[in-house]
Amino acid sequence: MAGLELLSDQGYRLDGRKSTELRKIQARMGVFDQADGSAYLEQGRTIALAVVYGPHDVRGSRAKIQHDRAVINCQYSMATFSTAERKRRPHGDRKSTEMSLHLKETFEAAILTHLYPRSQIDIYVKILQSDGGNYSACVNAATLAVIDAGIPMRDYVCACTVGFVDDTPLADMNHAEESGGGTNLALALLPRGGQIALLQMDARLHQDHLDTLMEAAMTACKGVSKVLDEVVRQHLQETVILTGE
């Protein structure tokens, strides 16, 4: 590695966090009127915007219609200004297609799709600012948007990345830590039941360390779920007060 010390002797990371500490998460639901559900989420300096349309009739090709469940359509994109280097990002490049597919699989595991036969749910996520953990920010934002749209889910889906440096798992890595090229494990969890919606790992890791890493990732996801829970409950109470019931 390029001489960057990701974990100091005192146990602090580059941005001053402890190894298990998450970045600050701030979120808001219902940011757009036009969409059925929407959410804005900041996870440290990573910012994601998620919009949900549906369930609605399947548009486009009739071949997509599923007669026993809803089709989930995800689209992931990054803003041109989201990274340090300004770059045009055409739709459908390999990275975003892969990310869209991951999001789709994650939400197929969580949304009760069998309740909406012959329909379609669109989830569009955009990264406005990228500082590592794009996948997890997208999942967390999209979860809030799906809840805002009133679409039934088994549970929240919470995602977090975990890295592994000096035999220590690092929760919720930022861009500087990710770009080191070390192990990076992304986990999407349904926290209450502890079911895994998606698990992805880049780079190599010794089998003996996998359990510690998974343990750390699950704890981190549960931490995220607490924050999301607070956001949703706050939003619920505000809406109930406004409608005056």
Catalog residues that contact other proteins under the rule CB under 8 A: 28, 30, 33, 36-37, 54-57, 112, 116-119, 147-156, 190-193, 229, 232-245
- Closest listed residue to residue 52, CA positions, set 67, 70, 65, 66: 70
Q: How far apart are the first and last CA of the chain?
A: 59
Of 97 and 237, CB closest to other proteins: 237
- Give min distance, CB of 199 to other proteins, in A: 20
Q: For other proteins, which is the closer residue by CB, 99 or 221?
A: 221
Per 3-state DSSP, the chain is made up of helix, strand and coil in percentages (nearest 5) of: 30, 30, 35
For residue 151 the two structure tokens come to 């679409």
Residues 188, 17: Cα–Cα separation, whole Å: 22
Q: Which is nearer to other proteins, 27 or 165 (CB)?
A: 27
Amino acid at 76: Y
Question: Whats the size of the chain, residue-wise?
Answer: 245
Q: Which is nearer to other proteins, 149 or 187 (CB)?
A: 149
40 vs 164 by CB, closer to other proteins: 40
| Minimum distance, C-beta of residue 192 to other proteins, in the bound complex (Å) | 5
Task: Give me the least distance between CB of 194 and other proteins, in Å please.
Answer: 12
**Shortest Å, Cβ 93 to other proteins:** 32
